[in-house]
Amino acid sequence: MDTRRLILFVIFSFSIMLLWDAWQKEHAPEMPAAQTAATPQGTPADKPQENGFSLKKGERISVKTDRYAAVIDTVGGDLRQLSLLEHKADDNSGPYELMSDQSKDELYVAQTGLKGDGLPTHYETFTATDTSYVMQESENSLEVRLTAPETNRIAVDKIYTFHRGQYQIDVRYEIKNNSEKAISPSVYYQIIHDSESNQGSKMMPTFTGGAYFTEEDKYNKVKFDEMAKKDVSINAKDGWVGLVQHYFVSAWIPQSKAERKFYTTKLSDHDFSIGTILPVGEIAAGTTKTIDAKLFSGPQEQDDLEAAAPGMEYVVDYGILTIIAKPLMWLLTHIYDLVKNWGIAIIILTVLIKAAFFKLSASGYRNMAHLREMAPRMQALKDKFGDDKQKLQQAMMEMYRTEKINPMGGCLPILVQIPVFISLYWVLLGSVQLRHAPFFGWIQDLSATDPYFILPILMGATMIIQTTLNPPPTDPIQAKVMKIMPVLFSVFFFFFPAGLVLYWLVNNILSIWQQWAINRMIHAEAVVKKGNGK
């Protein structure tokens, strides 16, 4: 029995550590692999490499749509600020500000430019016909046109098109070659971000860094530490590049099928750019050519991601258990559609998962109940054999054979369920839908910690109840450890999002009910057996 209890303790502890370690590992970056596609023209020469980095500022152009409040700067035609009107700031003070250039410590900007003699880079100053654009109720799209100074008889317009109900922004260059010779420029798209902000907390760190996707190499992430050591330079035949953080993502999606290069550049000790550059092709004298790209910038919601580009769905990263996690998220979403409360949806999903494993769990609980009934006999064996561990072990194994009990019988059901529980953990931790989602009463944000620690305390109480239902350890040290564990885990869960703690609490309550019912049944059978003299 002591061996089995120790194994159960190790499994449970390991599962908790596995949840923690797996989240960090699965959201840690992977080193980019080399590719063999032809290299487009070089990357933007934007490497000051000084201790500080700042952006030149020009005139500001405000843009308001149903989903965005944006600011475009005439310098480079950069997208310098972007607020998501349907998502709240962390402190509920207003809309969530995804992009901003207002603080050098928290920098997040989207840039584009052209490479070629006299063509406008992100340093060029554009002009616009207005300084404020608002999408009207009758409009489904809003266009903002910026014009660069004509150089070498080449006219360039940069056009942003915002769409109602979408987190995709069309970005188009119109290049009119009025010169007498053909030109062959390149176009680049990049995101600038600092390496310090949006990293989560010390107890719950999250990944913020670069990401790219190609059909050949699929989804890869690149952390800022790797960018600091060496600039990334990867040739690809297709794909997109962007910046991923917890719940949100921005990605440049070129519409051209030309081969491209993905790159990163260290701008300062704490600022980096990640982007892509690709050839535009020849523009003959006297002709006009357009180059199109899309900028996806918004929450990590599966439907929107899948509609944006192939591979964008991988931004919601469930790791190696995606095959289990995605169906769980699908089911959780459909339950929410019925009940309209994410907390209730979590409870119902936990009940359904528990029901699916009911018979499997029951076999483990029956085994544990039998061991509980045998506890006095096992204590008697320990008293009889004292410190003779070998004889004690032999006597215990003989008793197991006589009673037809497998001391390891409860381990397999637990091991089988762990992948499902870990998958649900990732689903709840990574779902933007739970951000600022209320449950009831004092729980107004399932993605944040319980402000009064009520759920973690209740979870600790359920763990204490579970220990009383299990066979008591005969080893004094192990018994003390089992008493301390509920307190330790309660403190640990103080730092977990309320949605995760709710899931564990409900699962514990259901486990207590099932163990209690089986304990009563096995005890009744033992009483009858004893009464019959067996």
Residues of the chain with CATH 2.70.98.90: 58-316
pLDDT value of residue 475: 63
pLDDT value of residue 277: 98
Per residue in 7-61, pLDDT (tens digit) is 344 444 445 544 444 434 434 334 333 333 334 555 664 444 445 688 999 999 9
pLDDT value of residue 151: 93
pLDDT value of residue 496: 86
3-state per-residue secondary structure call for 267-329: CECCEEEEEEEEECCCECCCCEEEEEEEEEEEECCHHHHHHHCCCHHHHCCCHHHHHHHHHHH
* Numbers of helices and strands, H then E, in the chain: 12, 19
Below-70 pLDDT ranges, the chain? 1-52, 203, 362-373, 375, 403-414, 471-476, 478-479, 522-523, 525-534
pLDDT value of residue 216: 94
According to CATH, what is the number of the domain 58-316?
2.70.98.90
pLDDT value of residue 387: 72
State the CB neighbour count (10 A cutoff) for residue 451.
Answer: 11
pLDDT value of residue 78: 98
State the CB neighbour count (10 A cutoff) for residue 167.
Answer: 23
Q: How far apart are CA 36 and CA 46, in angstroms?
A: 25
Token pair of 471 as six digits = 């066979």
